[in-house]
Amino acid sequence: MKQSKWLQQAATGLALTLVLPLCALSAEDKERGVGDVVYVPTPQIVVDEMLKMAKAGPQDFIIDLGSGDGRMVVTAAKKFGARGFGVDLSDDLLAEARANAKAAGVADRAEFRKQNLFETELGQATILSTYLLPEMNEKLRPKILALPPGTRVVAHDYHMGAWLPDETKTLSVPEKIVGTPGISYTYLWLVPAKVAGRWQSEFKHGASSTAIEFDFTQTFQVVSGTAKIGTQTVKLPDNRVAGDQIAFTVFAKQGDNTSRHEFRGTVKDDAIIGTVAVGSGTAQTQYPWSAKLVARAGAAK
């Protein structure tokens, strides 16, 4: 990670810039980085926890924005079997990252590129990692939200503005001197499927069928709205989209458990495919369910 006394470096895409007096750094760290920007590594315990939160595995491709000495991508490859690349603008740190990958025996799965992080193509990522100021995270946010639903985003210490994390952990890191000394915060977001809009659905139960129309509103991963069953319209409670998975409950008659409908499904483009469980307890019966998007609405970004 890099830290800078001034924020103007962010405009040029220098990765991982934070406000930190240079006097707080060791003489060795002051000599590293690009110009006014100095390098401060993410503690290894934090790297490990971020990758655990992301459930990194051999099937994953990680992109680290501001890769420093490469420890995030190298750890993902060596400990979790993943592959990927990191981007940075420091020739010194890129050389060190490549050397670390080679020493760890993962140079074939851990690549490092000299590249502006704002210009980096992110589409290959199943996991994206950052240690950036909130202003930089928010600048990247629209690009991140355009990634496939379920893409995991992990960050150290700094948030995504109004896009609240799906999971947060607090770690004791005695050697940490930046941000909150001795404490690190790790965050996980799942890129949510876009479901805001009007959906039509029907499910068959025995010889009968029930048509339901949903009107979803969405702010990042939080979804609410209404369901129209026949002539009755009921309000949906706030629910969360977990990547491409959506689940919510509708009562055709408020407070009547026999009218309880538990919907679960996978969102894929303009369709949701899943099940609906009707009723409760031993009387609950599950049926196949699907919905089709008929009018898309906007969502917060």
CATH of the domain at 219: 2.40.128
Asked if residue 301 is part of any domain, the answer here is: no
127 pLDDT above the threshold of 60: yes
Using one digit for the tens of pLDDT, what is the confidence trace for 148-183? 999 999 999 999 999 999 999 999 999 998 888 999
The confidence score (pLDDT) of residue 301 equals 54
Asked if residue 171 is part of any domain, the answer here is: yes
CATH number of the domain to which 8 belongs:
3.40.50.150
Tell me, yes or no, whether 174 and 286 share the same domain. no
Tell me, yes or no, whether 242 and 284 share the same domain. yes
Tell me, yes or no, whether 168 and 231 share the same domain. no
Q: What is the mean pLDDT of residues 220-235?
A: 91
Which of 171, 190, 209 lies at the terminal end of a domain, its last residue? 190
Tell me, yes or no, whether 73 and 144 share the same domain. yes
Q: List, in order, residues 6 or more apart from 265 with CB less than 8 Å away.
A: 245, 246, 247, 272, 273, 274, 275, 289, 290, 291
Which of 166, 190, 214 lies at the terminal end of a domain, its last residue? 190
Tell me, yes or no, whether 125 and 256 share the same domain. no
The confidence score (pLDDT) of residue 112 equals 98
Question: DSSP string spanning 144-174?
Answer: HHTSPTT-EEEEES--BTTB--SEEEEEE-T
Nearest to 243 by CA among 167, 299, 192: 192
Tell me, yes or no, whether 99 and 13 share the same domain. yes
Asked if residue 177 is part of any domain, the answer here is: yes
Tell me, yes or no, whether 173 and 211 share the same domain. no
Asked if residue 179 is part of any domain, the answer here is: yes
Q: What is the mean pLDDT of residues 95-113?
A: 98
Q: Which of 97-106, 119-128, 254-263 has the lowest mean pLDDT?
A: 254-263
Tell me, yes or no, whether 44 and 171 share the same domain. yes
**Per-residue confidence band for 284, with pLDDT thresholds at 50, 70 and 90:** confident
Which of 190, 207, 232 lies at the terminal end of a domain, its last residue? 190
Q: Residue 280, Cβ neighbours under 10 Å: how many?
A: 13
**Per-residue confidence band for 296, with pLDDT thresholds at 50, 70 and 90:** very high
Tell me, yes or no, whether 89 and 168 share the same domain. yes
**Per-residue confidence band for 300, with pLDDT thresholds at 50, 70 and 90:** low
User: Could you tell me the pTM of the whole model?
Assistant: 0.85
Q: Which of 3-17, 78-92, 274-288 has the lowest mean pLDDT?
A: 3-17
Q: List, in order, residues 6 or more apart from 57 with CB less than 8 Å away.
A: 80, 81, 82
In the chain, the number of structural domains is: 2
Tell me, yes or no, whether 13 and 109 share the same domain. yes
Domain range spanning residue 18? Answer: 2-190
